[in-house]
Amino acid sequence: MNLADAYFQSRAQLGTALFALNTLAHDLQASPDTVRTLNELGTSLREPFLFVVVGEVKAGKSSLLNAIFGREFCRVDVLPATDKVYLFKHGEEERDVPISPQLIECHRTAPILRDFNIVDTPGTNTIVAEHEAITRQFLPLADLCIVVFSTANPWGASAWQFLQHVHRKWLKKVIFVLQQTDLRSPDEVAKIVEHMQQTMLQKVGERCPLFPVSARCAFESKHTSDEPQRAQLWEKSGFGALEDFINKSVSDGTARNDKLRSVCRSAQVILDEHGSQVRGAAHTLDADLRRLEEIRGSLREREEQSLRQTGGLLWTIAQNYERAQLRGEELLRQKLTLGKTLKLIFGGSGWEKSFQAELESKQRESATKSVADALELIEADLKSVWKQVHDLMQRHFADQNGLPALPDFAKQRQELLNKIELSLIERGDGAAFESQMAALFSETTNWLRVPVGVAAAGGIGAVIAASLMKAAILDITMAVAGLGATVGTLVAVVKRNKILNQYSRQMAERRETMVRSIDEHLRHALRRFYLELEQTFQPLEAFCTAQKKVLDPLIARVRKLEDTLGQCAAGLGAL
């Protein structure tokens, strides 16, 4: 097991979650204060452990640190036995930075220093007042203070004198290591341990953990591939108890774990804030899309209602046309008396042209008025649609309180709503609406002004002329046969009825053509109207759809972070 595995696993999991939260905050354009807080949490989380090593010169401090970290970190030339205090920390390049005449900060590329900083003090037998002050400054910050004694000289008084100046509150961080046990027999080591425990009570006033070890055997054990030899060296080193204590001390360290828990809680608070914003925005989008669908459904209902109304209006137009047609037939009957019919057959009188002009004028007047009345009703109905949609907008979208504070989202959404509101007000009022209706029905109204009259009466002359031509031919034939006036009268009656029937049939066909054409024009105009109205909401709908594609992955990230931080909190509670 590596040093402080449990702690580092928890810290790594929390660090990964914190990095993901930082990325999420950047994506959500979080406030500078939030970003700064997350950066500070990350820096706090990465703060390395601090080990302070104290002992007399040649007590085996370097060998002990090499064995603890499992690598040649503390060579003799790395930790020189001088009269200075050395703080070893990680750096991208190796350099020594003098902090004071007594303190040197040593930057080294060793990866272990990313997680562990080491304060190596001068030998306690060479320490001076300034060294003592510096060492004491590190003790309150230290996670562990290791006081090293050597079995070669376990009686050194300077280390005990140094410990007597250490505040009792920091003694809980102190452990004693009796180094180089491989230089003594087990019995000698046992006696030295007993003596040190008694001295500890006398000098320090309490028992601190004491571990007799052989750093040389432990280091060799960690670097041999021979399994039996490794186990033998490890057993002889006595390092198992020391590493178990260090692991437990690091993993169970109240201050360290409190810091992790504090970072985790802070991260959860920030995540709750951003999660609420993202979910609030998503909720607003879903609500907007539902409301837009409601408006679209209302428009579909109104369109069907308008089309049904158009059907009724077309029936009215057809009825008015039919009444005008009947009046035309009556006028035609009055013109086609027996005498006038005979006169037309034998020579013509020219009255049919004036009759056609008169009938055409009446038909045009009647049909145009019917269609104009219909268009006025349709326009009034469509104008009410604008008001209905405006009321729906006011009811669904006017209340902006409680909108999530996501940057851009609320602003863009409000701008789109304002544009829709302005469009509804402008188009639903006054000249703008009249202009729109004029453009919308331009094809229909232009078609009605001239062709309606022509369709209604333009073929009367042709009908009469065709019928009379056939009648004239027949009349000549009958005259040659000598049938006389009786036959001529019979022909006149037959031809009069034929003219009336043909006129009635052709006018009925023209009525159907006109009604069908008006129906097509009105339906086309209505479709354009409702399509244009629906397109008013298209930018908002496109915005909501696009934002939903952005927010859905963000919500997934929030949920994943919530699970991760929850697991972190549970794991930290178990430490």
DSSP letter string, 499-543: HHHHHHHHHHHHHHHHHHHHHHHHHHHHHHHHHHHHHTTHHHHHH
Distance of CA 501 to the CA centre of its chain: 73
Contacts of 20 (CB under 8 A, 6+ apart): 557, 560, 561, 564
Closest to 422 (Cα-Cα) out of 382, 386, 383, 395: 386
pTM over 0.85: no
End-to-end CA distance of the chain: 17
φ and ψ at residue 162, rounded to 5 degrees = -65, -45
What is the rounded average pLDDT for all residues in the chain? 76
Q: What pLDDT, on a 0 to 100 scale, did the predictor assign at position 188? A: 92
**Residue 150: pLDDT over 60:** yes
DSSP class per residue in 322-366: HHHHHHHHHHHHHHS-HHHHHHHHHT--SHHHHHHHHHHHHHHHH
**Residue 376: pLDDT over 60:** yes
H or E element at residue 210: strand 210-212
- Per-residue pLDDT, averaged over 75-102, amounts to 74
**Residue 443: pLDDT over 60:** no
Please say whether the beta carbons of 92 and 145 come within 8 A. no
Highest mean pLDDT among 258-262, 423-427, 558-562: 558-562
Give me the residue label for tokens 């020579």: 347
Name the pLDDT band for 531 (thresholds 50, 70, 90).
Answer: confident
**Residue 20: pLDDT over 80:** yes
- Per-residue pLDDT, averaged over 432-455, amounts to 51
**Residue 15: pLDDT over 60:** yes
- Per-residue pLDDT, averaged over 26-55, amounts to 86
Please say whether the beta carbons of 238 and 211 come within 8 A. yes
Name the pLDDT band for 48 (thresholds 50, 70, 90).
Answer: confident
Q: Which of 63-67, 260-264, 436-440 has the lowest mean pLDDT?
A: 436-440
Q: Cα angle vertex 136, ends 134, 141, to 5°?
A: 100
Backbone angle region of 89, left / alpha / beta, with phi > 0 → left and psi within -120 to 50 → alpha: beta
DSSP class per residue in 237-273: HTHHHHHHHHHHHHHT-HHHHHHHHHHHHHHHHHHHH
Please say whether the beta carbons of 487 and 478 come within 8 A. yes
- Beta-ladder partners of 174: 145
Q: Which of 144-158, 284-298, 435-449, 520-534 has the lowest mean pLDDT?
A: 435-449
Which token pair is 492?
């006149």
For 89-112, the pLDDT digits (tens) are 888 888 989 988 878 898 888 787
Edge-first strand listing for the sheet containing 210-212: 95-98, 103-108, 85-90, 116-120, 49-55, 144-150, 174-179, 210-212
Name the pLDDT band for 575 (thresholds 50, 70, 90).
Answer: low
**Residue 405: pLDDT over 90:** no
3-state secondary structure 535-558: HCCHHHHHHHHHHHHHHHHHHHHH
Q: Who wins on pLDDT, 429 or 505?
A: 505
Name the pLDDT band for 480 (thresholds 50, 70, 90).
Answer: very low
**Residue 459: pLDDT over 60:** no
- Per-residue pLDDT, averaged over 4-24, amounts to 86
**Residue 469: pLDDT over 60:** no
| CATH code, 48-252 | 3.40.50.300
Percent of the chain with pLDDT over 70: 71
Please say whether the beta carbons of 127 and 121 come within 8 A. yes
Q: What pLDDT, on a 0 to 100 scale, did the predictor assign at position 23? A: 92
Q: Who wins on pLDDT, 115 or 250?
A: 115
**Residue 366: pLDDT over 90:** no
Q: Which of 54-63, 140-149, 285-294 has the lowest mean pLDDT?
A: 54-63
Name the pLDDT band for 447 (thresholds 50, 70, 90).
Answer: very low
Q: What pLDDT, on a 0 to 100 scale, did the predictor assign at position 482? A: 43
- Per-residue pLDDT, averaged over 48-58, amounts to 81
For 164-223, the pLDDT digits (tens) are 666 666 667 788 999 999 999 999 999 999 998 988 888 878 888 999 999 999 999 988
**Residue 466: pLDDT over 70:** no
- C-alpha 271/C-alpha 360 separation (Å) is 80
Render the burial of 306-332: b for 16+ CB within 10 Å, e for the rest. Answer: beebbeebbeebbebbeebbeebbeeb
Distance of CA 15 to the CA centre of its chain: 24
- C-alpha 297/C-alpha 292 separation (Å) is 8
- C-alpha 341/C-alpha 335 separation (Å) is 8
Q: What pLDDT, on a 0 to 100 scale, did the predictor assign at position 481? A: 43
Which token pair is 69?
């970290």
- C-alpha 433/C-alpha 428 separation (Å) is 6
For 303-334, the pLDDT digits (tens) are 888 888 888 888 887 887 788 778 777 777 77
Please say whether the beta carbons of 149 and 159 come within 8 A. yes
Q: What pLDDT, on a 0 to 100 scale, did the predictor assign at position 458? A: 44
Give me the residue label for tokens 């009269």: 83
Which token pair is 392?
């729906």
- C-alpha 394/C-alpha 295 separation (Å) is 12
Q: What pLDDT, on a 0 to 100 scale, did the predictor assign at position 241? A: 92
Q: Where are the domains of the chain?
A: 48-252, 306-399+410-546
Please say whether the beta carbons of 562 and 271 come within 8 A. yes
H or E element at residue 118: strand 116-120
Q: Who wins on pLDDT, 332 or 466?
A: 332
